[in-house]
Structures are given as C-alpha cells and as structure tokens.
Amino acid sequence: MAAFLLGTFFAAMAAAGYVFELVFGGLGLVPGRAAATIPVGGVFWDYTTWLNIVFLILAGALVIRFARTGGGMTLKMMGGAPEPAGAGGGHAATPAAAMPTHRRACARTHAVWLRRRPNR
C-alpha cells in the first residue's frame, strides 16, 4: 500500500511539473538563459536578521513562561489514555484530595492565574 501511495504521488507530481512547463512555456513566461544571473552571495545584516533575533527572544520568553507556570505538569495531565466512560474525568464531582498530585498542582496554578487576572 505504501509503494502504491508513493508511486501515485510521484506520478501526480511529475505530471504537474510537465503541465506547468507546457503552460508557462506556451505563455512565454519562462525567461531565457541569457537573462539568468547569479547573485553575489554573502552574509549581511538586514531587517530580516533583526526580525529573526526579535522573534527568537520572544520564543525564548514564551518557553521560560511555559516552564515557570506549570506547563510541563499540564502536559503530563493531558497525556495518557482516556478515562473510561462514567469515571467523571476528574471534574467537579471528584474532590481535590482524591486528585493525583499533578492535577492538584494544575488546579493550584489555575487558581493563581485567576487571582492575577484583572477584573472585567
């Protein structure tokens, strides 16, 4: 089955390439070889370099915030197999003392977040 999918995707890709070549060539949108130039390569600093640095710092700040606010424990709580039907899912019917430790920690984190949230 995998070989069939590979062959089908390859054939579709090759056919699409030929179609584009014929359409662009027929419309005269393919530049001649004489017009092709090789740009001078090199490392230089422009606005995209600064944007990359800014967003790298932003990504680092978000990762630090995720780690400090209990994101790892939340991911642990979300992982694993689903609970059987009728188990309550650890919602309001389950007392906090019966919750596993990581769920109590997530509930504490959520309570801290609710206290810090501005009133609306």
Q: Where are the domains positioned within the chain?
A: 96-120
| Mean pLDDT taken over the chain | 81
Q: Which helix (H) or strand (E) holds 4?
A: helix 2-26
- CB proximity list for 107: less than 8 A, separation 6 or greater: 96, 99
Query: What are the backbone angles phi and psi of residue 36, rounded to the nearest 5°?
Result: -75, 135
pLDDT of 48 reads: 93
- Of 44-48, 75-79, 108-112, the least confident: 108-112
* CA distance readout (Å), 21 to 36, 68, 71, 103: 18, 53, 50, 58
**Alpha-carbon torsion 14, 15, 20, 26, what sign?**
positive
Classify 95 as helix, strand or coil.
Answer: coil
The average pLDDT across 6-26 equals 96
| 85, pLDDT greater than 70 | no
Q: How confident is the model at residue 25 (pLDDT cuts 50, 70, 90)?
A: very high
